[in-house]
Copies of this chain bind each other. A is one copy, B any other.
């Protein structure tokens, strides 16, 4: 007997048939004697439909009203699931964000959780009810409804697990777990039994969209035992935790991130403060920079700086740099979004100095030219031509996992 928090995403509850399938998953765990708290997203396309309705009325609505609108989606979702569980004869209650005391800050549409009171949930669990919680939403100090931004329901689930000191937090998705590589692109991709929070964070930020970063960060901070598993296949998923047996593999996965663009500033004067001026200009515009590469060409008095940003930020970054060309002090600027980032992630990498060499060798085998390189303690990323990215990923994956 344990307290289990489960989370099901929008595609898992998209219609009556899927709702019934999920209900049986919940019922099984409940009938084993576990206390069940289940966080749900809005059904299938509900959120997109509501967004479209809003846009038709006002293309630029306030975030407060958008949260008011969108949060209705999860409310409908938990009510419908409650009805399904009632049909199975199970005691159940559905609760909204404000009803479970999911207190957030006032940052509408991207609110951060400040505290979860959880009293109501505990009282309902004491009555042996299955508690369904509307994900993605909270309530702020004005008693206004807020939403938690992208991946918000994952974060709701982890926050509930923290507040209730749950034994396990299961995130159900449409994949069977975390794979060494995107299984749709690399047939040899292998499901991982376990992965560390840090690896998961790197993989998520690299575009392996299984869990949202904020939920993993919260799970890491409070040491919540996470499990990623499929709503469709009854198999153990991937466990996400603090420490894993790193001997099992030096690296955990290979990922492509296509949401990346490169900007190059040429002819910067080779003086202190130049890099500072470049990146302060960008940060004032809230543009995040990922990889940075600086080169001095020979004995020249100028240098070049290249860096990557999210594709959606590229045009704006170039614009703001051009506006400040005099102050920043560069001769020329170029940009491209025809690139991808290919990365390997592994907590076991640090103790294995040969990993980088092996990665570069496999890229050489695949005749892939490397643009930029970036490394961290558990990650090596390279920027390559967009058209080479999948070939690069496959070649790396073959070298590390299919030997």
Contact = CB atoms under 8 A, between A and B. Distances in A.
Interface in A57-85: 57-58, 60-62, 64-66, 68-69, 71-73, 75-76, 78-80, 82-84
A61 to B, nearest CB: 4
A144 B87 CA distance: 21
Contact of A80 (B69, B87, B144): B69
A103 to B, nearest CB: 14
The 9 closest A-B pairs by CB, nearest first: A69-B79, A61-B83, A68-B79, A72-B72, A58-B83, A58-B87, A65-B82, A72-B75, A16-B56
A282 interface: no
A120 B143 contact: yes
6 contacts: A58-B84, A60-B87, A61-B86, A62-B82, A68-B82, A71-B75
Interface string A107-141: 00000000000001000000000000000000000
A53 B68 contact: no
Interface in A19-78: 19-20, 50, 53-54, 56-58, 60-62, 64-66, 68-69, 71-73, 75-76, 78
A301 to B, nearest CB: 53
Contact residue range for chain A?
35 or more
A369 B160 CA distance: 69
Contacts of A65: 79, 82-83, 86, 94
Contact of A76 (B19, B20, B56, B69): B69
Contacts of A96: 68, 145
B62 A86 contact: yes
A98 B96 CA distance: 12
Max chain B C-beta neighbours (<10 A), residue from A68, A72, A145: A68
A399 B69 CA distance: 52
B83 A62 contact: yes
Contacts of A66: 79, 83
